């Protein structure tokens, strides 16, 4: 292990510790305020009440079940949306005619708020998870189209020309330069899409569902169980943070050269 990584590990632990301290301080202040001013639980539950609600919800098994449902909707919707976005992005980037034909409709579709079409999708696909998967996919696909198209056009002309002087075919230029150059952009799109997918699944569940974390939030709110609602929010944000972390982890391994270049002064 060299000096640099030792140093950055130290820095990382330092930042993480600061983050934890801030969090603990925030929770303590929150608890103190709720107790000192005797704020009712149905307006703002104290952290201790949220923790209790979380624990009982976990033990009853409802939290686990609804989390699994929502997680499935998020992941299935993300995969479906990202796949459609990637394929459409490739088609648009490779065939200029397809861009002129498709792009106006894609942009028009993108400008429609997905919340507005969610009720229609629920009518078409039912109250079960499949309608949520479709809603999530409609939200997740656009970032992938945009980033794929931009990425596939990002290859520096000099790299393309270098391959051509060595007698590369169009396909070889695509495989050896355009595709790798597009990967960092595609990962940015994936990261945006995975976070939006969480929103997509919840929006779908709000419109009409029989299970899932969005359904659970509505139910708890209906019963003025605000502590229970907060407990669900904690799970939702944990899901978002976790999925983002996984995406970043994969990204650092696949497009390692971006980080590598950042550490050194390089010739563009």
Partner 1 sequence: MTADAAGTIPAVPRHRPSLVIVSNLEKAYTSRDGQNIQALKDVTLDIAESEFVSIVGPSGCGKTTLLRILSGVLQGSAGDVHVAGERLSGPSREIGVVFQSPVLLPWRTVLQNILVPVEIQKRNESESRARARQLIEMAALSGFEDKYPSELSGGMQQRVGICRALIHDPSFLLMDEPFGALDAMTRESMNEELQRIWSRSGKTILFVTHSIPEAVYLADRVVVMTPRPGRIVDVIDVDLPRPRTLAMHNTPEFGTHVAAIRRHFNAEGALDA
- Give the binding site for partner 1 (CB under 8 A): 158-159, 161-168, 172, 176-177, 180, 255-257, 260-261, 263-264, 266-267
For residue 99, the minimal CB distance to partner 1 (Å) is: 24
| Phi, psi for residue 117 in degrees, rounded to 5 | -95, -5
For the chain, report the end-to-end CA distance as a whole number of angstroms: 29
> Smaller CB distance to partner 1: residue 2 or 167?
167
For residue 148, the minimal CB distance to partner 1 (Å) is: 18
CA distance 27 to 30: 5
Tokens of 101: 């034909």
> Smaller CB distance to partner 1: residue 152 or 199?
152
For residue 2, the minimal CB distance to partner 1 (Å) is: 13
> Smaller CB distance to partner 1: residue 53 or 155?
155
For residue 250, the minimal CB distance to partner 1 (Å) is: 15
| Three-state secondary structure of the chain | CCHHHHHHHHHHHHHHHHHHHHHHHHHHHHHHHHHHCCCCCCCCCCHHHHHHHHHHHHHHCHHHHHHHHHHHHHHHHHHHHHHHHHHHHHHHHHCHHHHHHHHHHHHHHHHCCHHHHHHHHHHHHCCCHHHHHHHHHHHHHHHHHHHHHHHHCCCCHHHHHHHHHCCCCHHHHHHHHHHHHHHHHHHHHHHHHHHHHHHHHHHHHHHCCCCCHHHHHHHHHHCCCHHHHHHHHHHHHHHHHHHHHHHHHHHHHHCHHHHHHHHCCCCC
The CA-atom distances, in angstroms, between 67 and each of 52, 196, 238 are 18, 17, 11
> Smaller CB distance to partner 1: residue 78 or 174?
174
For residue 243, the minimal CB distance to partner 1 (Å) is: 25
> Smaller CB distance to partner 1: residue 163 or 190?
163
For residue 262, the minimal CB distance to partner 1 (Å) is: 9
> Smaller CB distance to partner 1: residue 249 or 256?
256
For residue 187, the minimal CB distance to partner 1 (Å) is: 13
> Smaller CB distance to partner 1: residue 155 or 231?
155
């Amino acid at each position: 292990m060299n000096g640099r990584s030792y140093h950055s590990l130290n820095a990382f632990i330092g930042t993480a510790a600061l983050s934890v301290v801030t969090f603990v301080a925030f929770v303590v202040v929150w608890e103190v305020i709720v107790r000192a001013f005797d704020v009712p639980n149905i307006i703002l539950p104290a952290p201790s009440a949220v923790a209790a609600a979380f624990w009982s919800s976990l033990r009853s098994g409802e939290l686990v079940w609804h989390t699994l449902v929502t997680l499935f909707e998020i992941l299935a919707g993300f995969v479906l949306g990202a796949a459609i976005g990637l394929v459409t992005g490739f088609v648009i980037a490779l065939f200029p005619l397809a861009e002129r034909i498709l792009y106006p409709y894609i942009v028009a579709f993108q400008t429609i708020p997905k919340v507005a079409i969610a009720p229609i999708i629920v009518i078409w696909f039912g109250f079960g998870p499949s309608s949520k998967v479709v809603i999530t996919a409609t939200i997740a696909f656009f970032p992938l189209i945009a980033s794929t198209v931009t990425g596939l056009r990002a290859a520096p002309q000099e790299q393309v020309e270098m391959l051509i002087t060595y007698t590369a075919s169009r396909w070889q230029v695509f495989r050896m330069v355009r595709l790798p150059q597009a990967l960092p952009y595609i990962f940015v799109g994936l990261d945006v899409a995975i976070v939006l997918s969480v929103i997509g699944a919840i929006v779908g569940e709000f419109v009409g569902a029989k299970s899932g974390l969005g359904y659970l939030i509505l139910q708890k709110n209906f019963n003025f169980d605000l502590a229970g609602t907060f407990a669900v929010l904690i799970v939702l944000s944990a899901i978002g943070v976790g999925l983002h972390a996984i995406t970043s982890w994969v990204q650092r391994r696949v497009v390692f050269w971006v980080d590598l270049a950042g550490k050194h002064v390089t010739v563009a």
